[in-house]
A and B are shown apart, each in its own frame.
Chain A
Amino acid sequence: MQRNEVVTDRPVSGAPAVRMEHITKTFGSVIANDDVTLDIYRGEILSLLGENGSGKTTLMNMLSGIYFPDAGSVSVDGRPVSIKSPKDAFDLHIGMIHQHFKLVDILTAAENIVLGLNESYMLNLKRVHSEVVNICKKYGFELDPDKKVYDMSVSEKQTLEIIKVLYRGADILILDEPTAVLTPQETEKLFGVMRNMKADGKSIVIITHKLHEVMSISDRVAVLRKGRYVGDIATSQTDPQQLTDMMVGHAVKLNIERPEPKDLRECLKVENLSVVDIDGIRKLDKVSFTAYGGEILGVAGVAGSGQKELLEVIAGLQPAQRGSRVIYTDRNGKVSSLIGKSPLEIKKLGVHLAFVPEDRLGMGLVGNLDIADNMLIRTYTEGSGMFVNMKRPRKLAQDIVKEFEVVTPGITTPVRKLSGGNVQKVLVGREISGDPSLMMSAYAVRGLDINTSYTIYRLMNEQKARGTAVIYVGEDLDVLLELCDRIMVLCGGRLSGIVDGRTATKEQVGLMMTHIGETGKEADE
C-alpha cells in the first residue's frame, strides 16, 4: 500500500538556500511534523501541498521563528542556524506572510512597514515612503504608503504584508495560503508579482491546497500528509491526479458502523444558498442540496470552503443572500422556511435543531459556567415568571455525566476545566437531549481521542436510526467515507458534487475538494 510514496525528482540543481532536516514538532500528544526533510532553492517557487492538519503551516512557522522544532536541524546557505524568534528569521532574510495579517489598523502602510525596526530615533517616513515606492515599481505592486490599514481591502493588506517582508530584506518568502482571501483577478496579480520576485532570484514558498494554483504558479511541489513528508516533484512532470494521490494517500480501514438508512423522508431542502461575509467575500455560492431524515450527510472540503457559513445560515446565525432558500419539513409534513429567522424564532417554529459548532467553548458552551448552567442555555426560555427552573438542567447534567461517562469532579465544575473530549460529550449530550429532528455537527471529533471519537460516531448513528437528518462536517476523509451515507463536497464555497459514501473513493473526493471537475458539473448548475 506504500505505492508511490516518495517521489524524488528535483528540477533545480545546486546547493539549497534553506535545508530543513529531520524536523519533528509535537503539540502535546499531537505530532504536527514527523521527521520532515525539505530543501528550498534560490529562484524557484515551491508549492507546499497538503490537506488540513498535514503540518504545512507548522513546518513553515518553524522557519519563520514562531515555533521551535523539537528535533532536527535547519541550515541556511549551508550554515546551521537556530531560529528562535521572528527577528532571528528576519536576520536570516526569511519572511513569512501569515494567513491572518499582522497589521496595526490605525497606522499607515509606511508606519506598519517600519514598525519595530528602530532605524533612527526620529521617524523618517519620507525615506520609507520613497523606499516603498521603489519596491512597488520593482516588482509591480500597487500600494499607497500613506493609506491607513483600516481603509484597505484584503488584497491591499496582503500586498502591504509582502512589502513589509521585502523592506526587511527578505529573500526567502513564505506565503501561507495567500489566495484564500483573494478574488481570481487579485490572485492573477499576486502570481505576476511572485514571478517577478522569482526572476529577481528570491525563493518563494507558497502553502496551498488548491491544485490548479500549484499547477499554474510553482516550479516544484512538495507534499505533506499527516505531518509526514511524502515527496517532491517538478510541476511540469506531474498532474492534479498524481498530486491528489500523494496528498490524500490511500484509504485506511476504520471499521466505523454504517447501518443502512431506512424510512428516508425529506427534512431540509437548501436551494441556491449564497453567503457574502462582512468583508464582502463570497463564502457560499448557490449551493443546493437536500438532507433526509434517517441518513448521515457528510460535508467534505478544505477548511474555509463555506462549511461554517452553511451550518450557521441553517441555524439562523448568519444572513444569506437574496434568492437563497432553506425549507424545513418536520416529521408531520409541516413545511417552514428558515431563512431570515433568528435561532429563537426557528425554535418557536417547532424545529428541533441540534447544533454542535466547531468552536465548542466559544459558540457551544460557556467555559466559565458549570455543566448544569450550560444545560440551561437551551431551556432558559422555559419555566414561568422571572425565575428559571434549575431542576431540569441539573437532572439533565447528571444524566449526561453518567450516560456519556464524562470525567468531571461534579456538575458544578466550570466547563472550561474539562478536557476537550469531555467538553464535546457535554455539548453533544445537551444537543441530543432536545430530541432533534435535524442535527448538524462541525468537526465533532477534532482533538478527541479514538474512544471518544467512536462514541461520537455511535451517537450520530443512533440519531440516524431515530430518523434524524444528520449533517456531519468533517475533515478526515477516511471517517467521512465510512460513516456517511452521502457526501457533499464543497470547494471554495461552491458545490463540487454529492457522492455516495459507499461507493466513492478517497481519490475522487480529494480531487473534488481541490477543484470543481466534471464530477461536480451536474450538481453545480
Chain B
Amino acid sequence: MVLSQIISLITTAISFGTVIMYGSLGEILTEKSGHLNLGVPGIMYMGGIGGLIGAFLYETHTASPIPFVGLAIALASTLLCSLVGGLIYSFLTVSLRANQNVTGLTLTIFGSGLANFFGGSLSKLAGGVGQISVASTSSAFRWTQHISDRIVASLSAKAAAGGGFMKFLASAADTVDRVFLNYGFMVWLALAIAVVLSIFLTKTSRGLNLRAVGENPATADAAGINVKSYKYLSTCIGAMISGLGGLYYVMDYIKGTWANDGNIEAVGWLAVALVIFATWKPLRSIWGAYLFGALYWLYNFIPGLTRSSQEIFKMLPYIVTIIVLISVSLRHKREDQPPTSLGLSYFREDR
C-alpha cells in the first residue's frame, strides 16, 4: 500500500468508526443499567431520519437557510426521535418488564421500517431517489473541517513564497490535516462523549450507583438508589447518544442525503459488537471503533478481490469480536465481564 492509500484508510476508518462509536457509547451507558438494548440499529435509524427530516423541512421552507440554524434543528430533531425510541424501549422493559431481547429486536425492525418509509417519502418530495439535499446544513456539520482547511491553505500560500523548510512544513501540515483534521465536529464530539462517559462511570457517585444498578439492582435498591429512574435515564440518554450516530451518518458521512441501503443497520450491529469488544469501557470503544472502521473497509484497499471475497473481509470486525469474547471468557477477569444483571428485569417483590 502506498502512503496515499494508508492515509485514505485511516480517514475512512475514523469517519466510519465514529458512526459505530456513537452507537456503542449509547449502548454502553444503557447496558451499564442492566438493559441489553438490541434496538440500537433502529434507534440510529430513527435519529438519522429525524435529523434529516428536520433539516429538509427547514431548508425547503426557507428562502436562504442559515447553516447553523439547520444544524441546531437537525440536532434537536435527532435527539427527540432517538429519545422516543429510548422511551419506547424503557417503558416496555423497565416498567412492563418485557423481554429485553424481543423488545430490542422489534425496535430495530420498527426503526428501520420507519426511517426507510420516511426516507422514501422525502425522496418523493425532493423529486426522486438520491435527490434529497440539505447541503447548507450538511456543510455546517463540517465547520471544523473548513477551519483546518483554511489554516492549511494559508500555510501553503506562505510556503509557496518561502524556502525549502517552509515547503516541507506545509506539506507535513497538509498530511496532518488530511489524516487527523479532515472531519466534521461530530467526530470530536464522539471523543468528548467517550471521555465524559468514562469519567462519569468510574469517578462519580452517580456513576457508581449506575454500575450497582446494572450489577445487582436489589442491592442498589436496598442502598436507597432509585433503580427505575437510573434505568430510565441511562436507557434514554444512551438512546440519544446512539441516535447521534445516525445523524452523523446522514449529515456528515453521506453528506446530507438518504439511501435505503441498510448501511445504518449494519453499523448498528457493529456498534453492539463493539460494546462487547470494548468490554463495556467507553475509552476502549474509541480505538475499537476506529479498528472496526478500518477492518470493515479494508477490502477496498486490497487489490484483486471479487464481490464474494469482499464480503468475507467485511466479516472481520465480527471475527475480532468473537476472538475478544473468547479470550475474555478464558481469562475470566471479573472487571471485563458484562454487568451481572444484564438482560434481567428487576421487580422488587420478586424474592
A: which residues have CB within 8 A of B? 85-87, 90, 102-107, 111, 114-123, 148, 150
A122–B205 touching, CB < 8 Å: yes
User: In the complex, which residues of chain A have a beta carbon less than 8 angstroms from the beta carbon of B206?
Assistant: 118, 121
Q: Are A116 and B209 in contact, with the CB atoms below 8 A?
A: yes
Known contacts A104-B212, A106-B335; can you find 6 more A-B pairs with CB under 8 A? A86-B223, A102-B218, A104-B216, A117-B224, A122-B204, A123-B204
* A86/B222 in contact, CB under 8 A: yes
Are B215 and A115 in contact, CB atoms less than 8 angstroms apart? Answer: no
Write the residues of chain B forming the contact surface with A, with a CB cutoff of 8 angstroms.
203-209, 211-212, 215-216, 218-220, 222-225, 334-335, 337, 340
A87→B224 CA distance, assembly (Å): 5
Q: How far is the CB of A88 from chain B (nearest CB, A)?
A: 9
Q: Chain B: which residue is nearest A90 at the CB level?
A: B224
> B residues within 8 A CB of A150?
334
**Contact among A85, A104, A122, A148 for B219, CB-based, below 8 A:** A104
Interface residue from B220, B223, B334 paired with A106 (Cβ < 8 Å): B334
Q: Is the Cβ of B219 less than 8 Å from the Cβ of A123?
A: no
Shortest Cβ distance from A164 into B: residue: B223
Which of these, A85, A86, A116, contacts B212 with CB under 8 Å? Answer: A116
Question: Pick the contact of A148 from B224, B225, B334 — CB < 8 Å?
Answer: B334
Residues of the A chain whose Cβ atoms lie less than 8 Å from the Cβ of B340: 105-106
Whether A115 touches B209, Cβ cut-off 8 Å, given contacts A90-B224, A104-B219, A107-B215, is yes
Q: What would 16 A/B residue contacts be, using CB atoms closer than 8 Å?
A: A102-B219, A104-B215, A105-B215, A105-B334, A106-B215, A106-B334, A106-B337, A106-B340, A114-B205, A115-B212, A115-B219, A115-B223, A116-B212, A116-B223, A117-B205, A123-B204
Query: Which residue of chain A lies nearest to B348 when distances are taken between CB atoms in the complex?
Result: A66
Q: How far is the CA of A117 from the CA of B209 in the complex (A)?
A: 9
Tell me, rounded to whole Å, the shortest Cβ–Cβ distance linking B54 to chain A: 34
The chain B residue with its CB closest to the CB of A151 is: B334
Q: Which residues of B contact A117 (CB under 8 A)?
A: 205, 223-224
Assess the B205–A85 pair: CB atoms within 8 A: no
Residues of A within 8 A of B225 (CB): 115-116
Residues of B within 8 A of A87 (CB): 224
CB proximity of A495 to chain B, nearest CB, Å: 32
Residues of A within 8 A of B220 (CB): 104, 115-116
CB within 8 Å for A123 and B205 given contacts A102-B222, A106-B340, A115-B223? yes
Minimum CB–CB distance from A87 to chain B (whole Å) comes to 4
In the complex, A116 Cα to B337 Cα: how many Å? 23
In this complex, the member of B208, B209, B212, B218 whose beta carbon has the largest number of chain A beta carbons within 10 angstroms is B208
CB proximity of A117 to chain B, nearest CB, Å: 7
**Residues of A contacting B216 with CB < 8 Å?**
102-105
A87 to B205 CA separation, bound complex (whole angstroms): 17
Closest to B205 in A: A118
Residues on A with C-beta less than 8 A from B222 are: 86, 102
Distance of A147 Cα from B337 Cα, bound (Å):
18
Residues of B contacting A107 in the complex (Cβ-Cβ under 8 angstroms): 208, 211-212, 215
Chain A's closest residue to B337 (CB) is A106
Q: How far is the CB of A368 from chain B (nearest CB, A)?
A: 14
* Contact between chains at A111 and B208 (CB < 8 Å): yes
Contact across chains for B208 and A114 when beta carbons are under 8 A apart:
yes
CA separation between A119 and B223, bound complex, in Å?
A: 13
Asked if A102 meets B223 with Cβ closer than 8 Å, knowing A107-B211, A148-B334, the reply is yes
* Complex Cα spacing A17 to B218, Å: 29
- Given A115-B212, A121-B205, A122-B204: A103 touches B334 (CB 8 Å cut-off): no
Taken together as a complex, chains A and B put the C-alpha atoms of A85 and B222 apart, in Å, by 8
Q: Which 7 A-B pairs have the closest CB atoms?
A: A116-B223, A87-B224, A102-B219, A116-B225, A116-B224, A115-B223, A102-B222
Residues of chain A with a CB closer than 8 A to B204's CB:
121-123
Residue of B nearest to A150 (CB): B334
**Residue pair A120, B205 in contact (C-beta under 8 Å):** yes
- Expressed in whole angstroms, the Cα–Cα distance for A247 and B206 within the complex equals 46
* A105 → B minimal CB distance (Å): 7
Cα–Cα, bound, A102→B222 (Å): 7
Q: Tell me the complex Cα distance, A87–B222, Å.
A: 8
List, in ascending order, chain A residues with CB within 8 A of B212's CB.
Answer: 104, 107, 115-116
A87 to B340, CA, bound (A): 24
Contacts of B205 in A (CB 8 A): 114, 117-123
Which residue of chain A has the shortest Cβ distance to B216 in the bound complex?
A: A104
User: With A106-B340, A118-B206 known to touch, is A86 a contact of B218 (CB < 8 Å)?
Assistant: no
Query: Which B residue sits closest to A117, measured CB to CB?
Result: B205
* Candidate in A105, A106, A122 with the most chain B CB atoms within 10 angstroms: A106
How far apart are B119's CB and chain A's nearest CB, in angstroms?
41
B266 nearest CB across to chain A (Å): 33
Distance from A131 Cβ to chain B, minimum over Cβ atoms (Å): 15
Shortest Cβ distance from residue B3 to the other chain A in the assembled complex, whole angstroms: 45
Instruction: Say how far A335's CB is from chain B's closest CB, in angstroms.
Output: 44
B residues near A103, Cβ cutoff 8 Å: 216, 219
* Least distance between A95 CB and chain B CB atoms (Å): 11
Closest to B202 in A: A123
Assembled-state Cα–Cα distance A121/B204 (Å): 6
Shortest Cβ distance from residue B96 to the other chain A in the assembled complex, whole angstroms: 19
Q: Which residues of B sit under 8 angstroms from A85, Cβ to Cβ? A: 224
Task: Give the chain A neighbours of B334 by CB distance below 8 A.
Answer: 105-106, 148, 150
- Docked complex Cα distance between A106 and B334 (Å): 7
Q: Provide the residues of chain B in CB contact with A121, threshold 8 Å.
A: 204-206
Instruction: Give the complex CA separation of A86 and B223 in angstroms.
Output: 7
Chain A nearest Cβ from B337, distance in angstroms: 8
Most buried by A among B209, B218, B222: B222
Kindly list chain A residues whose C-beta atoms are within 8 Å of the C-beta of B203.
122-123
Of B203, B205, B207, B220, most buried by chain A (CB within 10 Å of CB) is B205
Is there an interface contact between A86 and B224, defined as CB atoms closer than 8 Å? Answer: yes
Q: Which residue of chain B lies nearest to A89 when distances are taken between CB atoms in the complex?
A: B224
Tell me the minimal C-beta distance from A392 to chain B in angstroms: 34
A64 to chain B minimum Cβ distance, whole angstroms, is 9
Q: Which residues of B contact A102 (CB under 8 A)?
A: 216, 218-219, 222-223
Contact of B208 with A123 in the complex, beta carbons under 8 Å: yes
A520→B206 CA distance, assembly (Å): 55
Output the nearest chain A residue to B351 by Cβ-Cβ distance.
A100
Q: How far is the CA of A148 from the CA of B337 in the complex (A)?
A: 15
CB nearest to A115 among chain B residues: B223
- What residues of A have a CB within 8 angstroms of the CB of B215 in the complex? 104-107
B208 / chain A contacts, CB cutoff of 8 Å = 107, 111, 114-115, 123
Q: Which residues of B sit under 8 angstroms from A123, Cβ to Cβ?
A: 203-205, 207-208
CA distance A178 to B16 in the complex (A): 56
Alpha-carbon distance A103/B223, docked complex (angstroms): 9
Max chain B C-beta neighbours (<10 A), residue from A106, A107, A111, A115:
A115
Closest Cβ–Cβ distance, residue A16 to chain B (whole Å): 26
The closest CB in chain B to the CB of A87 belongs to B224
Closest B residue to A103 using CB positions: B219
CA distance A106 to B202 in the complex (A): 13
- List the B side residues contacting A122 at CB < 8 Å: 203-205
State the CA gap A116–B213 with chains docked (Å).
10
A residues within 8 A CB of B223? 86, 102, 115-117
A464→B340 CA distance, assembly (Å): 47
Residues from chain B with a CB closer than 8 A to the CB of A120 are: 205
Chain B residue nearest to A119 (CB atoms) is B205
CB contacts (< 8 Å) of A90 on chain B: these are: 224
- Nearest-CB residue, chain A, relative to B335: A106
CB distance from A93 to the nearest CB of B (A): 14
Cα(A119)–Cα(B205), bound, Å: 8
- Report the Cα distance A236→B207, complex, angstroms: 50
Instruction: Give the Cβ gap from B216 to chain A, nearest Cβ, in Å.
Output: 5
CB distance from B177 to the nearest CB of A (A): 37
Kindly report which residue of chain B lies nearest to residue A101, judged by CB atoms.
Answer: B219
Would you give the shortest CB distance from B147 to chain A, in whole angstroms? 33
Query: In whole angstroms, what is the CA distance A418 to B209 when docked?
Result: 39
Once bound together, how far apart are the Cα atoms of A105 and B220, in whole Å?
A: 12
